[in-house]
Structure 1
Amino acid sequence: MLIRGISNRFRRFKMISELHYVVCSPTVCKNACTGNGLSLLPVKSRSFCISEPTIRLQTGVVYAHQSQASVSGNRISRVVRTEAQTALFDYLHFTRGFHFTDAEYISKNSPHFVQNLLSVVDEEEDVSRALSKYFRYNPINEFEPFLESMGLNPSEFPSLLPKSLIFLGDDSLLLDNFHVLCGYGFPRIKMGKMYKEAKEIFGYDHGVLSSKLKVYEQLGLNKSTIVKLVTCCPLLLIGPIDSKFLAVLDKLKQFGFGNEWIGSYLSEKTTLNWDRMLDTMSFLVQVGYDDKQMEVLFTDNPALLFDGSGKQIYVLVGQLLKLGFKMNQIFDLFLKNPQILSSKCAKNLWTAVCFLFEIGMETERIASIVATHMEVLGSNSLKGPITVMNSLKIQQDDLRLAIQKDPLKLINLATKSDPKTIEHQDSNTFVERRNFLLRLGYIENSDELAKALKKFRGRGDQLQERFDCLVESGLDYNVVSSMIKRAPSVLNQTKDLLEKKIDCLQNRLGYPLEAVIAFPSYLCYDIQRINLRFSMYLWLLERGAAKPKLSLSTILACSDVRFVKYFVDVHPEGVSTWESLKNSLNSR
């Protein structure tokens, strides 16, 4: 009897699960129909689904409607939302047995699910108690908050939710492979893209995924690069290793690039086509570029490979051929102006060419302007000819003659940017500085690049010298790149000054070089301020009045008033010592 009772209860639970799937299925939600004007008494379903609008059942009619949460979502307070997240965490961790980290991450990173969860709670009810009671009698589809926490939108769920499962624990392979990726270093929020594009990854038998990742390590790639590569191209983990990918790596090695170089230019938004990248490299080799020239070309203009996988080169070649350029002239232009191969720069160039055609300029004259002013034409977006003529109140012939006489007039008169900001744009200094920033990973014609150009001072070779100084001091190339993006003014210091500050940090202050990674602005502070404040700090340390190894930012970034309060007034002799140190340093 006992066994029969357990069996009956199990069958009832299975029927409830199947009914929950039928009622809450995204397919049912999607195909729900309206009542065609019928006035029938609604019966509220106690089931719960958030991947589509919630369901209300009417006699013989199922129709979708906006949930209370979607309507009043903006009125949900932070406190209420936090209570709902806590209730979801308690359910996942204590009731369903999820690991603490998984339950916490899912509950805090599935806002749509939590918002819709609150639709079952009346305004006067206690959220925690109401949801705890709800979870006891209404199993939820655990795949929905799980997928949302991986970065997917609920609108993407219908094709991704399993057809016959609602409990994550029933798909042990999914969780196993998910944890393998987490342990390897893949950000959880980016796994949704991988799940969507290569779902097979999450269905591998135990140990298979780890062995596939190990294969890429054996190619000489570090974990950081593998994470970036697979995030961009999840299909790399499907089937045997891609031979085209291996060919790209071999080509890059042939040109002098290490395995990590490719990883420094990848982001989750990058889309790579290995075939097209190979074609681009082969095309450039066929026209006469040797390995050294290819290294220079890709170093100066990584967008050639990573922005459209090289597609832009073919489009640009075709456009220049239409202007009458010979192939050898085109290749010479590419070598002198590699940045022109980026999509936005090429678009700006062709917009300028169309502008000149529209005002009646001859093809030969246009080709001449392009050959001598390609850098400037590619770096600026232009207004239309009619807009320019109307604003200047001049005729087409007058505009054409002015540009023929001085091609830079085209930029001064037609650019969408402030002419003052591009007054010296054609100078070698500007070009070198811009190329240097592109090598650091800034995107061509982006707002970030424009802001950085205003912050950096000096020629491109000077900036490179200062950058190399930091690398030669013992910092990793990619680390220095990241530091410069966070604190651009670091490179406004001379090489001698940078060396002096690094020497002071290590040999006088006793801090490791890595301390500047967390606070690169240390290198921007005046050497006198550094010496004065750290002299006071070291004096306090000798007397046991200060904590050892305080961060650089704690000592340097605070205001003078705050520094005096916490580093001078804390000792009876502090004020006199502080004044003595200031007088000593000022007299030098």
Structure 2
Amino acid sequence: ESMGLKSSEYFPLLPRKLMFLNDDQMLLENYHVLCNYGIARVKIGKIYKEAMEVFRYDYGVLRSKLQAFEEMGLNQSTIIKVVSSSPYLLIGDENRVFHEVLKKLKSAGIEYGWIEGHLLEENSYNWSHILELLCLLSKMGCSKEQLGDLICQHPGLLFEGSGNMTFWLIGFLLKFGSTVNDMHSMFLQFPQVQVGKFVCNLRQCFHFLIEVEMEVQDIERIVRSHPSLLGSCSLKKLNSLLANLNTGKKRLCEIINENPQVLKNWVMGLRVKQLPNSRGGSRMMKIKFLLDLGFVKNSDEMNKALKVFRGEGGELQERFDCFVNAGLKQEDVAEMVKQAPQVLNQSKDVIKMKIDFLVNDLGYPLSSLVAFPSYISYT
């Protein structure tokens, strides 16, 4: 019990052929090695429970295991935390994977002292999973500097469930068609939210969109395009929200489709105002924008564009200007919008990124967008 174990835990662990524990010299020898190294007695029970083999080591073996951690560059207090949280690292060459994690973090500019500050002795860590996650983030395109910044700002990505939450998040987004570049961008803009809470919010928002009876393709588009937004929002219950907004599911779907950012106004803790009776203001702005581009009022072209457009009316001009500022003529961009109005559904940052990729990475001339504007809509 003094080693931190409950009677229900230590009873099955008691040696059956001994009357007194001091009859097992190796057990006591290794116990004293751990105590003398500075590991609190109440933490040794976990080591005994999870790595009993340690207490059968011959003289000097356990001390050499601890010394191996020192040779990795860790100080004593960090080693105590590592061993207390992951006793299995003292068995065989299990510390080899841990050493690889250290080297990965070191190359990303993360000092070993930072690791000590984010380990919890009461938790257990799967360092193989953590190493896999670090390698995966690197393969996604994170530079060493980006990886270091990401982990320092969001240590939970690695340490919450040994990265299991992050693996779940990646798998979830892949199911919705997110690309490696999409996820790379999301991680670089990851909000100041614990990864477990982020995942919980994301799942809640996904179920909210299902409850509101949104079309499957629209749900996929929103999840793929706005994961950071969804992961940051703890939404109110749907029935409560519908009552407070004084609206129905159909109109709610339309509002979310037009501007997913509106979800930020419906989170727990914020007062929700009733929706205005008319959405004519935004629609009139869109109509004016299209008329300025040369669309004929009430024409099939205009009606098609109005159905396709997402976002506030005022955002369309800003997105249009992105193409002009990149070097295209206004009349060419107007023609692009007539051919593929969905090009203005992309955010300004996404438009700039895709133009840069087309010109600088793929080597196509900017003018190729005029003939093939749908490129901007591809993920």
TM-score above 0.5: yes
Q: Which residue, out of 301, 304, 308, partners 2:161?
A: 308
1:275 maps to 128
- Inter-CA distance 338–406: structure 2 relative to 1 (3 Å threshold): closer
Q: Residue type matched to 1:418 in 2?
A: G
CA distance in 2, matches of 1:339, 1:305: 15
Deviation track 1:297-334 (CA, whole Å, cap 9, x = no partner) reads 11111111111222333322232233333332222122
Between the aligned partners of 2:225 and 2:179, the Cα distance in structure 1 is: 15
Who wins on radius of gyration, i.e. which is larger?
A: 1
* Distance across 2 between alignment mates of 1:200 and 1:362: 57
Separation (CA, whole Å) in 1 of partners of 2:17 and 2:95: 33
d(CA) in 2 for partners of 1:407, 1:287: 26
Per-residue CA deviations over 1:403-445 (Å, capped at 9, x if unaligned) read 44554553444x3x3216xxxxxxxxxxxxxxxxxxxxxxxxx
Among 48, 62, 84, the residue aligned to 1:195: 48
Deviations 1:362-387 (A, max 9, x none): 35544565567544532343344345
Equivalences, count = 272
318 and 203 in structure 1: CA distance in 2 versus 1, 3 angstrom threshold = closer
Structure 1 contact 200–238 (Cα < 8 Å) conserved: yes
Consecutive unaligned residues of structure 1, counting only runs of 5 or more, are 1-147, 421-588
Which amino acid letter does the alignment assign opposite residue 184 of structure 2?
F
Identity among equivalent positions (%) equals: 43
1:277 and 1:305 in contact (8 A); partners too: yes
Give the Cα separation in 1 of the matches to 2:248 and 2:94.
Answer: 62
How far has the Cα of 1:227 moved from its partner? 0.5
**1:436-447 superposed matches below 5 A:** none
Is the counterpart of residue 295 in structure 1 residue 144 in structure 2?
A: no
User: Conserved in 2, the CA contact under 8 Å of 1:312 and 1:341?
Assistant: no
In the alignment, what sits opposite 1:540? none
Q: More relative contact order in 1 or in 2 (CA 8 Å, sep 6+)? A: 2
1:378 pairs, out of 215, 231, 234, with 231
Contact 2:177 2:224 in 1 (8 A): no
Aligned to 2:269: 418
**Helix, strand or coil: the match of 2:158?**
helix
Match of 2:23 among 170, 173, 177: 170
What does 1:32-181 correspond to in 2, within 5 Å?
148-181=1-34
Q: 2:178 aligns with which of 325, 339, 344?
A: 325
Q: Name the CA distance, whole Å, in 1 between partners of 2:112 and 2:262.
A: 45
More deviation in 349-358 or 393-402? 393-402
Shift of 1:271: 2.6
- SS in structure 2 of the partner of residue 418 of structure 1: coil
Provide the TM-score with structure 2 as the length reference.
0.64
CA distance in 1, matches of 2:51, 2:185: 42
In structure 1, what is the Cα distance between the partners aligned to 2:110 and 2:196?
A: 23
Q: Distance in 2 between matches of 1:255 and 1:303?
A: 17
**Distance in 1 of aligned mates of 2:27 and 2:85:** 20
Report the Cα distance in structure 2 between the residues aligned to 1:300 and 1:332, rounded to whole angstroms. Answer: 15
Which segment drifts farther, 223-232 or 263-272? 263-272
TM-score (norm: length of structure 1): 0.42
Distance change in 2, residues 1:337/1:370 (3 Å): farther
* Secondary structure in 2 matching 1:262: helix
Structure 2 unaligned regions, length at least 5: 272-379
For the pair 1:218 / 2:71, whether they are aligned, the reply is yes
Q: CA deviation at 1:231?
A: 0.8
- Tell whether the 8 Å contact from 2:108 to 2:148 is kept in structure 1 after alignment: yes
Provide the C-alpha distance between the structure 2 equivalents of 1:204 and 1:314, rounded to a whole number of angstroms: 36
Give the distance between the partners of 1:353 and 1:286, measured in 2 at CA: 27
The amino acid across from 1:247 in the alignment is E
* Letter of the 1:220 counterpart: G
Query: Of 94, 119, 140, which residue of structure 2 is paired with 1:266?
Result: 119
Q: Which amino acid aligns with 1:185?
A: G
Separation (CA, whole Å) in 2 of partners of 1:264 and 1:202? 28
2:183 counterpart letter in structure 1: I
Pairing partner for 2:58 from 197, 205, 214: 205
How far is 1:253 from its partner? 1.7
CA contact (8 A) 1:228 1:267 kept: yes
Equivalent position SS for 1:261: helix
Give yes or no for the alignment of 1:255 onto 2:108. Answer: yes
- Equivalent residue of 1:361, what SS? coil
CA contact (8 A) 2:3 2:45 kept: yes
1:150–1:190: 8 Å Cα contact kept in structure 2?
yes
CA distance in 2, matches of 1:363, 1:337: 25
In the TM superposition, residue 294 of structure 1 has moved relative to its aligned partner by 1.2
Helix, strand or coil at the partner of 2:13? coil
